[in-house]
């Protein structure tokens, strides 16, 4: 019988300094492929608005769309841990978050992910009390792209760095069990990862985090819009989808990815 990856598994990996590998997934076929190759975690990301629907941002994605893709990914997954994004304005109030998180858990998610800092404390606590594990997301938060003025690296100056650390600690205290850091300088991401007991997954956050995640379309070099600096085209490197996933896993586990060219100072 295949042993399922749980949040306890991921926490143990952090404690044993084993890197966690994660990819976004949106359907059963790719979920099955990723699962078979040994990816530890899959995220049904609101990135689907950009890579599947061709939008310029993630804001138009609905809770029903995330639930639909979560059901598909769950059906293709036997072992990996499955996390689903709470899309834009689906957790604007605490009550909203309960209804929408319930829909994603019913669709097959083992955890939901929310973007933002200490304004989410009551939401996180309330979800935890109602049996919903939560992953936080700090740094570049795509749902706030119009507030922060574009897809920009966060935490480069001392004040921003201090605020990000404070937000991370506040979210952990509120009860998040995992944290994603996006487009954060390597040194700051390492510092945050060391300061918290929960697994920290980086995307454009250097190699000092507890694991890495990439959007699958970026990893295969087939995104409709553009290739982010922090991504790497593993399909071009290997010429085969399964080998590309294997190479990604191996490079994350060894610390070879992300290199300096895929990180920010």
**Is residue 113 annotated as involved in ligand binding?**
yes
Sign of the alpha-carbon torsion through 147, 201, 52, 71: negative
Spatial separation of the C-alpha atoms in residues 244 and 194, rounded to whole Å: 30
| Catalytic residue (one of 65, 166, 182, 236) | 182
Q: Does the annotation flag 85 for ligand binding?
A: yes
Do the annotations mark residue 115 as ligand-binding?
Answer: yes
User: Catalytic annotation on 243?
Assistant: no
- Hey, what are 164's tokens? 């990000």
84 DSSP β-pair partners? 44, 112
Q: Is the peptide bond before 258 cis (omega within 30 degrees of 0)?
A: yes
Pick from 215, 218, 222, 262: which is nearest to 46 by CA?
Answer: 215
47 is in an annotated binding site: yes
Instruction: Please report the sign of the dihedral spanned by the C-alpha atoms of residue 24, residue 205, residue 50, residue 178.
Output: positive
Would you give the DSSP letter of residue 179? E
Q: Known binder of ligand: residue 46?
A: yes
Which positions make up the binding site for 3-methyl-2-oxobutanoate? Answer: 46-47, 85, 113
Which positions make up the binding site for Mg(2+)? Answer: 46, 85, 115
Which positions make up the binding site? Answer: 46-47, 85, 113, 115
Q: Give me the active site residues, please.
A: 182
């Amino acid at each position: 019988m295949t042993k399922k990856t749980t949040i306890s598994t991921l926490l143990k990996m952090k404690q044993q300094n084993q890197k966690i590998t994660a990819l976004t997934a949106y359907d059963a076929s790719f979920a099955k492929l990723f699962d078979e190759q040994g990816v530890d975690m899959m995220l049904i990301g609101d990135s689907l608005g950009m890579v599947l629907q061709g939008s310029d941002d993630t804001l138009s994605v609905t809770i029903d769309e995330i639930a639909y893709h979560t059901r598909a990914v769950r059906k293709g997954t036997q072992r990996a841990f499955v996390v689903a994004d709470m899309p834009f304005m689906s957790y604007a109030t605490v009550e909203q978050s309960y209804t929408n998180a319930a829909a994603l858990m019913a669709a097959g998610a083992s955890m939901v992910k929310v973007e933002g800092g200490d304004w989410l404390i009551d939401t996180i606590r309330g979800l935890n009390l109602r049996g919903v594990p939560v992953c936080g997301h700090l740094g570049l938060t795509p749902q706030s792209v119009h507030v922060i003025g574009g897809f920009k690296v966060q935490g480069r100056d001392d004040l921003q760095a201090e605020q990000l650390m404070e937000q991370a600690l506040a979210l952990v205290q509120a009860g998040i069990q995992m944290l994603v850091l996006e487009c954060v300088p390597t040194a700051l991401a390492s510092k945050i990862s060391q300061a918290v007991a929960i697994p920290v997954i980086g995307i454009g956050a250097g190699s000092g985090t507890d694991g890495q995640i990439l959007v699958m379309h970026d990893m295969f070099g087939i995104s409709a819009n553009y290739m982010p600096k922090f991504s790497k085209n593993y399909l071009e490197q290997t010429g085969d989808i399964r080998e590309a996933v294997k190479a990604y896993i191996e490079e994350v586990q060894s610390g070879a990815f992300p290199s300096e060219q895929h990180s920010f100072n």
